[in-house]
A = this chain, B = another copy of it.
Amino acid sequence: MIIGVLGLKGSYSEKAAKQWIKKSECPEKTILEYCADVQDVFSLLESSSCDIGVVPLENSIEGSVGITLDMFLEHDIHIIGETIVTIEHCLLSRGKKEDIRVILSHPQGLGQCRQFLKEHFPEAELRTTGSTSHAAKLATEFEEMAAIASPETASVYGLDIVLQSIQDRTHNHTRFAIITRSVIPENVKTCIKDQDVSCKTSIIVYLDRDRPGALYTILGEFARNNINLTRIESRPSKKVLGDYVFYIDFEGNISDAIIKDAIYNIESDVGMLKMLGSYPRFQF
């Protein structure tokens, strides 16, 4: 079974994939396929070059990974799991702190360390990479370069940990989605855990009616049935400013009658509803 992950060896997505494989007790032999960016994970999945994809969804400091949400809308995918990775960003370099002029990372890595960078490296040039591990690989080129990445990445690329735990808040976690094509391949099915456990369901809705209370009507379906929303996130519809799609996560499984009924009722109230899947809720 091939798993597409964001980044190179040592990336947080790789960590997420390994964590999920272990937790799900997946009996399949797995091979990791490293992708340059989030879009490539989706392309790989679409072309059947991988069976599962692991992509970052949201971070506790920097919020949603917009590109992942956009890809969920554009591609025919199914979420089969989630996993939460503890993030500990370090400043990795071949050089010393005082030599560093250029700092590389994924936009989320730079965002999670924004205050640190402003305080300690106000003059440094910031470069964006597709993943934190790619930043680490590039930082091996010159002593004046440093990457924001995991401590594990240091040994993978032969870099020194110049500064540890540099994110702006001590607690830093990223939630990853484990995705597959909407028609789940047979080999992946063996890795899907018993759904009798506590589950979450993810949907995308587009309210095409410009009327007061459209979102309220939808949330009413959840409230009336005591379904707990765990997340609601808006993204631009990209048609016109002020027009949004909503990404909603809630507790429960689509195979539960109560959830099925709520979705059925919501469907008649919205312009579009896309079911992303029900999956076991991550437990630490």
Contacts and interface: CB of A to CB of B under 8 A. Distances in A.
A75 interface: no
Nearest to A102: B127
Interface string A6-25: 00000000000000000000
Interface string A246-262: 00000000000000000
Contacts of A219: 213, 215-216, 219
A60 B238 contact: yes
Interface in A165-189: 169, 171, 173-175
Interface stretch (A88-96, A156-164, A224-232, A269-277): A224-232
Interface stretch (A26-34, A44-52, A107-115, A191-199): A107-115
A229 B212 contact: yes
Interface residues of A, number: 53
Contacts of A241: 58-60, 84, 173-175
Contacts of A233: 234
Interface string A202-234: 000000000111011101101100111111111
A231 B244 contact: yes
15 contacts: A58-B236, A59-B236, A61-B236, A67-B111, A127-B128, A171-B239, A171-B240, A211-B228, A212-B227, A212-B228, A212-B229, A216-B219, A230-B242, A231-B244, A234-B234
Interface string A120-158: 000001111100000000000000000000000000000
A232 B214 CA distance: 12
B236 A234 contact: no
A174 B240 CA distance: 10
Contacts of A114: 39, 67
Closest 9 CB pairs of A and B: A213-B223, A60-B241, A216-B223, A216-B219, A173-B241, A212-B228, A126-B128, A127-B127, A128-B128
A228 B209 CA distance: 12
Given A58-B236, A238-B60, A110 B128 contact: yes
B60 A236 contact: yes
B223 A118 contact: no
B234 A232 contact: yes
Nearest to A125: B127
